[in-house]
């Protein structure tokens, strides 16, 4: 089965998505997500200029060989642009293989290990009262796990707090918007949110929180300790993990479970974290960490060290990524939870999909492949629109992590 054509489809039904479509001489085709939020066109160029010419004529069934060809064969291995491009190729090829086998992808991977994929939604508000109301809405929708974020008194805006509750979209400017950050204010306020949520709703639901890389290890250790009475499912990205050793300081001070990895691209970005059991959940995803093929490798390694999968699933990961991820997560033995920020109706219309939500779980559906399509005619009606993620400064103007 030869690859005869591959093309990149860029569409902006409310936000930008990059999709790779690979077509074979047998009429079968597959699609993969290649969206890298705020840096989309770099992946488009990488695919069009440097990957697609090498794919034409290759055997679409040789997924592993093509993965190795693109990873080892470019010399400049790793990095988010390269790995998003490789992920898109890999996802599209698994889609083709599963379609050729006339199976949903999870069957090809080894079959279902569970009845559904537990997901968590994003509850957020400008203050604790508003966040409480949002949490109650997610509980009514049947969610078992809910991420909670709240505005910080004295700060004009806070990561994770949005106007549009179901479709939180951080890439909000044609140039990066500037946010203001205060570690002191954040550390004082955040435990109050979780105290209020446990007082109101008890301990029946899983609660999660995303620090979004804003703390130093000793500050993160203090937050983890102060959140212990509220028994979080996880505390996410509590420090930037450029240095994986940083998590050790957090780990030695708190039993609050730690999750990290949405910006990691390969197993090498989390090797120390996993091997030395410094984390509990690894958040690497299909689209940014090398597709199904490489995620299998990360998950297998993580399983040896009691680390579970907790894949990233924000709105900037397209429904194509979500479909592939759900097939992966229905199978993967060491599954933890899947993030699920709902896409807008416009996005769902461009990407018709077989997955569905019920009682806090997503199921990938039973269509052959990963179960997600792209309506190319509709996609063409939404041209690319430049959008950046915000940047973040401390109150005195110092650049900080967003």
The site string for ligand EZ4 over 30-49 (x = CB under 6 A, - otherwise) reads: -------x------------
Q: Which is nearer to ligand EZ4, 169 or 275 (CB)?
A: 169
**Strand (E) positions, 315-400?**
338-339, 356-358, 361-363, 391-394, 399-400
What gap in Å lies between CA 343 and CA 378, rounded to an integer? 16
Chain residue at closest Cβ approach to ligand EZ4: 314
Q: 131 near 125, Cβ under 8 Å?
A: yes
- For the beta sheet containing 399-400, the strands, ordered from the edge strand earlier in sequence to the opposite edge, are 178-181, 391-394, 399-400
Cβ-based nearer residue to Co ion, 262 or 373: 262
Residues that bind Co ion (CB under 5 A): 210, 262
Q: Which of 15, 132, 165, 212 binds ligand EZ4 (CB under 6 A)?
A: 212
From the list Co ion, ligand EZ4, none, partner contacted by residue 226 (C-beta under 5 to 8 A by kind): none
Q: Which one of Co ion, ligand EZ4, none interacts with residue 170, CB within 5 to 8 A by kind?
A: ligand EZ4
Rounding to the nearest 10 degrees, give the CA dihedral for residues 311, 312, 314, 320: -60
Report the alpha-carbon distance of residue 323 to residue 258 in Å, rounded: 26
Question: Binding segment for ligand EZ4 among 49-57, 130-138, 221-229, 312-320 (CB under 6 A)?
Answer: 312-320
- Binding footprint of ligand EZ4, residue count (CB under 6 A): 10
Q: Is 230 a residue of the active site?
A: no
17: part of which helix (H) or strand (E)? strand 17-24
Residue of 212, 294, 343, 363 marked active site: 212
Answer yes or no: 75 catalytic.
no
Positions 156 through 195 that interact with ligand EZ4 (CB under 6 A)? 170
Q: How far apart are CA 194 and CA 207, in angstroms?
A: 8
What, of Co ion, ligand EZ4, none, does residue 314 touch, CB below 5 to 8 Å by kind?
A: ligand EZ4
Beta bridge partners of 118: 361
Q: CA 327 to CA 366: how far, in whole Å? A: 10
| Selected catalytic residue, list 29, 138, 159, 361 | 159
First-to-last alpha carbon distance for the chain, in angstroms, is 45
Q: Is the Cβ of residue 4 or residue 389 nearer to ligand EZ4 in the bound state?
A: 389
Q: Pick the binder of ligand EZ4 from 40, 90, 134, 262 (CB under 6 A).
A: 262
- What SS3 state is found at 130? helix
**Which region among 21-29, 70-78, 297-305, 309-317 touches ligand EZ4 (by CB under 6 A)?**
309-317
Q: Which residues pair with 150 in a beta bridge?
A: 125
Among all residues, which ones are annotated catalytic?
159, 212
Residues in the site for ligand EZ4, rule: CB under 6 A? 37, 170, 210, 212, 262, 312, 314, 316, 339, 389
């Amino acid at each position: 089965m030869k690859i005869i054509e591959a093309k990149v489809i860029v569409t902006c039904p409310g936000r930008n998505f990059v999709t790779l479509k690979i077509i074979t001489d047998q009429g079968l085709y597959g699609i993969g997500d290649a969206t890298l939020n705020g840096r989309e066109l770099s992946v488009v160029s990488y695919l069009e200029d440097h990957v697609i010419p090498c794919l034409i004529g290759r055997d679409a069934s040789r997924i592993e060989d093509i993965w190795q060809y693109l990873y080892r064969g470019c010399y400049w291995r790793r990095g988010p642009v390269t790995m998003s491009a490789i992920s898109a190729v890999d996802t599209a090829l698994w889609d083709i293989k599963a379609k050729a086998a006339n199976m949903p992808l999870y069957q090809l991977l080894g079959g279902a290990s569970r009845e559904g994929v537990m997901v968590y939604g994003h509850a957020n508000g400008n203050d604790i009262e508003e966040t409480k109301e949002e949490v109650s809405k997610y509980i009514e929708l049947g969610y078992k796990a809910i991420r909670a974020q709240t505005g910080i008194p004295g700060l004009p805006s806070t990561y994770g707090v949005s106007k549009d509750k179901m479709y939180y979209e951080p890439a909000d400017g044609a140039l990066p918007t500037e946010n203001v950050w205060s570690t002191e204010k954040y550390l004082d306020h955040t435990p109050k949110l979780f105290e209020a949520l446990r007082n109101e709703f008890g301990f029946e639901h899983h609660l999660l929180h995303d620090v979004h890389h804003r703390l130093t290890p000793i500050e993160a250790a203090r937050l983890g300790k102060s959140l212990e009475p509220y028994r979080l499912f996880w505390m996410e990205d509590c420090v930037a993990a450029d240095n994986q050793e940083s998590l050790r300081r957090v780990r030695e001070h708190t039993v609050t479970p730690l999750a990290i990895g949405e910006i990691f691209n390969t197993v090498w970005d989390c090797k120390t974290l996993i091997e030395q059991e410094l984390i509990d959940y690894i958040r690497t995803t299909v689209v940014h960490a090398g597709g199904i093929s490489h995620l299998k490798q990360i998950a297998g390694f993580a399983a040896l060290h009691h680390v579970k999968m907790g894949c990233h699933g924000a709105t900037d990961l397209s429904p194509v990524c979500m479909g592939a991820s759900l097939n992966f997560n229905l199978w993967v033995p060491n599954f933890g939870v899947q993030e699920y920020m709902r896409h807008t109706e416009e996005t769902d219309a461009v990407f018709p999909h077989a997955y569905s939500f019920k009682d806090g779980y997503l199921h990938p559906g039973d269509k052959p492949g990963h179960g997600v399509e792209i309506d190319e005619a509709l996609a063409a009606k939404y041209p690319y629109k430049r959008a950046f993620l915000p940047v973040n400064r401390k109150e005195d103007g110092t650049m900080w992590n967003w």
